[in-house]
Amino acid sequence: MSEAFALRSVAFSGRGGQGVRTAGRILGRAAFVSGFWVQDFPVYGTERRGAPVTSYVRFSSEPIQERGTPAWVNLLVKLDATVPYGGRAGLVVVNSSSHISGSKTCDMRSLGSGFMYPTGSSRFRMTGSWRTLRPVVDESRCKSCFLCYVACPEAVISLDGDERPIIDYDNCKGCLICKQVCPFSAIGVEVESS
């Protein structure tokens, strides 16, 4: 990194089970891998599904001297509109199907087809034939951590009733990010046959 980058802070707010902690870890790790100084930390009370959770991420090109919960964040992502957030934020993104008073909304579908596809766009293009390497889940090593499910950029990994990954090979491009993020080496690789 050649030029200085001012301190940025992001907060994810929601309920236990929505991926608030995971979102913070993913953003923090991405910033770290990109060469930034990073802090990421969740704040929650009772560790249970449905309980309010907030995850904070700070990143900068310089060492971060600030500690504790930020009073102000550049970006707040609210995964659940009903969870109150005690701090202040520059930009707020809310996961809600209803209009929030005083907010600006944009339905990405109104931009028209061909402009932007949502995550998992390979489903629109049937990209499975592009693959040269096939990720294969070793059921005996899988611990149902579902990191592969979270990390898949094309959303072609789903979870069965036991939270085991199922790969949609019709749409999997074979990027092997799932293999890279698996902490248990439960995803192997097979060469595709023609």
Residue 69's Cα: distance from chain center in Å? 21
Is 48 a domain residue?
yes
Residue 99's pLDDT is 61
Domain final residue, candidates 105, 135, 165: 105
What is the pLDDT of the chain when averaged over all its residues? Answer: 81
Q: What span, in angstroms and rounded, lies between the C-alpha atoms of 113 and 133? A: 30
Cβ–Cβ < 8 Å for 53, 13? yes
Is 1 a domain residue?
no
Residue 16 has pLDDT above 90, yes or no: no
Q: What span, in angstroms and rounded, lies between the C-alpha atoms of 3 and 19? A: 33
Residue 97 has pLDDT above 50, yes or no: yes
Give the lowest-confidence range in 57-66, 78-87, 172-181. 78-87
Residue 162's pLDDT is 84
Please check whether residues 35 and 95 belong to one and the same domain. Answer: yes
Please check whether residues 14 and 74 belong to one and the same domain. Answer: yes
Please check whether residues 149 and 67 belong to one and the same domain. Answer: no
For 189, the enclosing helix (H) or strand (E) is strand 187-191
**pLDDT tens, residue by residue, 66-94:** 888 888 898 999 988 888 887 888 888 88
**pLDDT tens, residue by residue, 102-111:** 555 554 444 3
For the chain, how big is the Rg over CA atoms in Å? 19
Residue 120 has pLDDT above 70, yes or no: no
* Neighbouring-strand partners of residue 55: 12, 42
Residue 194's pLDDT is 63
Residue 54's pLDDT is 92
Q: What span, in angstroms and rounded, lies between the C-alpha atoms of 128 and 175? A: 11
Strongest mean pLDDT among 39-48, 111-120, 135-144, 163-172:
135-144
Count of positions (residues) in the chain: 194
Domain final residue, candidates 57, 72, 105: 105
Residue 20 has pLDDT above 50, yes or no: yes
**pLDDT tens, residue by residue, 152-174:** 877 889 888 888 899 999 888 88
Q: What span, in angstroms and rounded, lies between the C-alpha atoms of 149 and 103? A: 32
How many C-beta atoms surround the C-beta of residue 42 within 10 A? 17
Is 166 a domain residue?
yes
Residue 26's pLDDT is 94
φ/ψ region of 146 (left if φ > 0, alpha if ψ in -120 to 50, else beta) reads left
The CATH number of residue 60's host domain is 3.40.920.10
Band of the pLDDT at 124, cuts 50, 70, 90? low
